[in-house]
Structure 1
Amino acid sequence: MPLLTAIVLTLNEAAHLPDCLASLAFADAVLVFDSFSSDRTTEIAGAAGARVVQHAFTDYAAQRNAALDAVQSDWVFFVDADERVPAQLAQEVRSATMQPDVAAWWVPRHNYILGRLTLHAGWFPDYQLRLLRPDCVRYDSSRPVHELALVTGASAQLAQPLIHLNYATIREFVSKQRVYAELAAAGMWQAGKRARAHQPLTMALRQFYWRFVTLAGWRMGWHGALLALLMSHSEWLSYSSLRRR
C-alpha cells in the first residue's frame, strides 16, 4: 500500500491539536509542521508520536511547499489543527491513494461556524485540495493566503467531508480575518493591484450581496446575515490595507 503522511500546519494550536491528531491514526506517519509555537503544541505533538519540524512562517503557500519538501512518502494529506477526519473519510482517503492515474484529490468540508453547521453563504461544499502526491503539486507563491495549488496531472473529488471546527466566536473570526486580510493585501500589491478610494466600501458591499443573496446566506436567517457581514468586513480590511500601501 502507498505510504501516506498526514501534515498539520500549526501555530499555538495546543487546544485543537489532541483531537486532530487522534483522528489521523489511519495515516502511516504524521508531521506537525510548526511555526515556532509558544504554547504546548510541539510537546503535545511529540507525545502523540508525531514528527515535529519547526519552520519560520512567511505565508501559507511557502509553508505548505516547505512541508512537502520535508516528507518522503507517496501521498500527503494536509489537515488543519481545527479539522477532524471522520472514519468514513479516512477510509475513502486510503482507497484514493490506490488510484494510480490521479495526482491530487479535492475534499469537501463541513464548516461549523459559531457552533453551527454552515451549508450556505459559500461555506459548502468548500472543496479543498488536501490529498496529493508531493512530487505533483506546488503552491503558487503569488497567492500568500487562500493558496493556489498547481497540480501536474489529473485531480478528482472525494465524497466524504472533512470536519472543520471553524471560528468558535465572533472575536476569533475577526482576529483571523485581520491576518488573512493583511496577507491578501500583500498578495494583491505584489501582483500589481492598487485600490481606489471607493473600493474598500464598494468591495465590502459586493461581498455582502454575494454571500447573502447569490450564495443563499439568507436561507440561514440571522446566521447567514452575520456571516455575510463579517466577510464583508474582511473584504473592507483587505482593500483598506491595500489602499494604505
Structure 2
Amino acid sequence: MLKLSGVIITFNEELNIEKCLKSLANVVDEIIVVDSFSTDKTKSICKKYNVTFIEQKFLGYTEQKNFALSQTTHNHVVALDGDEALSEMLQKSIINLKTNWKFDGYYVNRFNNFCGQWIKHTTWYPEKKIRVFDKTKASWSGYKIHETVNLNSKDSKVGKLKGDILHRNYQSYSEHNQQIEKFTSISAQAYYDKGKKSSLFKIIVNPTWAFFQSYVIKLGFLDGFNGFYISVQTAHIRFLKYAKLRELNKKS
C-alpha cells in the first residue's frame, strides 16, 4: 500500500493548526511541520500530535515549501498551509489513492471561509489547486508570492479529487486590507523585477474586468455583502498592483 506524507508550513497558526492536523491524522502516514519560529501556541499544539516539528527561518513561500518537501520520508505528499484542512469527502478521496494512485498530481478545490462565511461564488470558488502529488515529479515554484505546484514534465498527468480544502483565511476586513497592502507591494516588485510595465490601460481595464468577472460571471452577488466586498477588493488588488508597478517604472 502506498504511503503518504502530510506537509505543512506554519507561522503563528494557533487558531487553525489543530483543525489542519486532525484532518490529516488518519489520512497520511507521517506529518512534517516546518515552522518559522512561531511566537504563539503553534508549537505546543503540534507537539500534542504525532508530527515531526522542524523550526526553520522563513526562506520565502516557495523555498520554505520545497524545504518541507525535502524533509519527507515518502514521495507522495499532501501539502497544506496551517490555516487549511481537508473536508471529510477529501479525506476519503485521498485515502482511496493509497490503493489506486494513477496520476502524477491531483487537483483539489479550495473552499474559502471569509469573516465567518463560506464563499461559494466569486473567483474564490472553485479555486483549483494541485496539493496532492508525487514529489519526484513536481515541486513548488513562484516568485516571492503566489507559489504553485508545477509538474516537471509536459507529459505529466493530473487527476481531480472529490472534496475541498477548507481554507479559513481572514477573520476581519481590516486583516484583509492589511494583507492587500502587503501583497500588492510584493506583486508589483515581482512584476518590476521581471521587466513588466504598467500602463493607464492596465490600471483602468484590468480592475474593471476583475470586478465584472467576480461579481457577475462568477455569481458573486449570490454571496451577499461579502461577495460584493470580495469582488470590489479583487478589483482593488489589480488596481494597486499596477499603480505601484507604474510608480516603480517611473522611478527607474
TM-score after normalising by structure 2 = 0.87
User: Counterpart in 2 of 1:79?
Assistant: 80
Alignment of 1:128-167 (within 5 A): 128-141=129-142, 143-151=143-151, 152=153, 153-167=156-170
Change (3 A) 1:101 1:49: closer
1:227 pairs with one of 226, 230, 237: 230
- Find the aligned partners of 1:100 and 1:185 in 2 and give their Cα distance: 39
What secondary structure sits across from 2:124 in the alignment?
coil
- State the Cα distance separating 1:16 from its structure 2 match: 1.4
Question: By how many angstroms is 1:233 displaced?
Answer: 2.0
* Identical pairs, percent: 24
- Asked whether the 8 Å contact 1:75–1:97 carries over to 2, the reply is no
- SS of 1:119's equivalent in the other structure is coil
Which amino acid counterpart does residue 52 of structure 1 have in structure 2? F
Which of 215, 218, 224 is equivalent to 1:215? Answer: 218
How far apart, CA to CA, are the structure 1 residues paired with 2:233 and 2:199? 22
Shift of 1:60: 2.0
Letter in 1 for 2:167: H
Q: Secondary structure at the match of 2:123?
A: coil
1:203 corresponds to which residue? 206
* Letter of the structure 2 residue corresponding to residue 72 of structure 1: T
Q: What is the match of residue 11 of structure 1?
A: 11
Deviation per CA, 1:183-218, whole angstroms, max 9, x where unpaired? 322321232112235644543333222211222212
**Residue 175 (structure 1) aligned with residue 172 (structure 2):** no
SS of equivalent to 1:65: helix
Report what 2:62 is aligned to: 61
1:122 alignment counterpart: 123
1:68 deviates by 1.1
Q: Which runs of 4+ in 1 moved over 6 A?
A: none
Task: Name the counterpart of 2:193.
Answer: 190
Distance in 2 (alpha carbons) for counterparts of 1:39 and 1:154: 40
Report what 1:20 is aligned to: 20
Q: Is the 8 A contact 1:59 1:183 kept in 2?
A: no
Residues 41-77 of structure 1, C-alpha deviations (whole Å, 9 max, x = no match): 2232123232112233243222221211121203110
CA distance in 1, matches of 2:247, 2:201: 13
Match of 2:34 in 1: 33
Give 5+ residue unaligned stretches, structure 2.
none
Counting matched residue pairs gives 244
2:167 is paired with a residue of what secondary structure? strand
Moved more, 43-52 or 20-29: 43-52
Partner letter of residue 51 of structure 2? A
Q: Aligned partner of 1:57: which letter?
A: F
Equivalent residue number for residue 48 of structure 2: 47
Q: What letter matches 1:15 in structure 2? A: L
Q: Which amino acid aligns with 2:53?
A: V
| Distance 1:57-1:182 versus aligned 2 partners, 3 A rule | farther
Q: Is the 8 A contact 2:88 2:163 kept in 1?
A: no
